Amino acid sequence: MAQIFPKWTNRIQTYAALATIVLIAGVVGFFSYYGSPKYTDVGYQPVQPVAYSHKLHAGDLGLDCRYCHNLVEESPHANVPPTQTCMNCHVLILPESEKLIPVRESWASRTPLEWIRIHNLPDYAYFDHSAHLAAGVGCSSCHGNVAEMVEVRQVEPLSMGWCLDCHRNPGQHLRPQAEITNMQWTSPADQATFAEQVIRDKKIKPPLDCSGCHR
């Protein structure tokens, strides 16, 4: 009796299984990248109510991060500077600049400027700025070199995996306490030895369990 189906149809199940595996891998890979903070968050650069240049203030003029974010060493949160901080300088420097109209209006009406937060962790994730700075983690480890940014953008994913990588190996991000806001600081050749000493002296032991960040 003649065969109804040709021989190649015997391999349909194999082809179907391979196609399913490729399809599933493709879907997982697609969402793993395009749905991750590396794609959705890195590069986030909203338009702010004032064209404030970090490159000018923190870079060219050399203002320390802590002049504006003055509570960052003692608070879990890096505070957004109030209008008063801007006016400390701009009552005398370029007081009639058109770029500063929103600042002057905020000052006159006593209404805070509505700055848009760039580095915004989910509510279920706990992060303490003061603890990291006290350990010797520099600002640029998380925020990048903002002294070179005219407009600040997010340069790291700030994902759980990214945080855990640092918690497992914090030494590469540690620096002398006096250098935490230095955007030009680079790790020395003896970074491993220095970090080992700091970890021992400060008893640094970043949490790796869930309760460390999810409280």
Give ∠ CA 166-168-171 in degrees, rounded to 5: 65
Report if residue 114 sits inside a domain.
no
Report if residue 112 sits inside a domain.
no
Report if residue 194 sits inside a domain.
yes
Domain that holds residue 147: 71-78+121-212
Report if residue 135 sits inside a domain.
yes
Report if residue 164 sits inside a domain.
yes
User: In 3D, which of 161, 144, 165, 164 has the Cα closest to residue 212?
Assistant: 164
Report if residue 18 sits inside a domain.
yes
List Cα–Cα distances, 84 to 64, 75, 99, 104, 108, in angstroms. 17, 19, 16, 10, 11
Report if residue 128 sits inside a domain.
yes
- The DSSP string of 39-95 is HHTTT--PPPSS---HIIIIIIS---HHHHSTTTTTSSS-PPPPHHHHHHHHTTSST
Per-residue pLDDT 10s for the chain (215 aa) are 567 777 777 788 888 889 899 989 988 888 877 778 888 899 999 999 999 999 999 999 999 999 999 999 999 988 999 999 999 999 999 999 999 999 999 999 999 999 999 999 999 999 999 999 999 999 999 999 999 999 999 999 999 999 999 999 999 999 999 999 999 999 999 999 999 999 999 999 999 999 999 98
Identify the H or E element spanning 161. helix 160-168
User: In 3D, which of 155, 141, 148, 177 has the Cα closest to residue 57?
Assistant: 148
Structural domain count, the chain: 2
Determine the pLDDT at residue 1: 55
Token pair for 24? 């599933």
Report if residue 64 sits inside a domain.
no
Residues in Cβ contact with 71 at an 8 Å cutoff, skipping those fewer than 6 apart: 77, 78, 79
Task: Output the pTM of the full model.
Answer: 0.82
Give the three-class secondary structure for 1: coil
DSSP state, residue 187: -
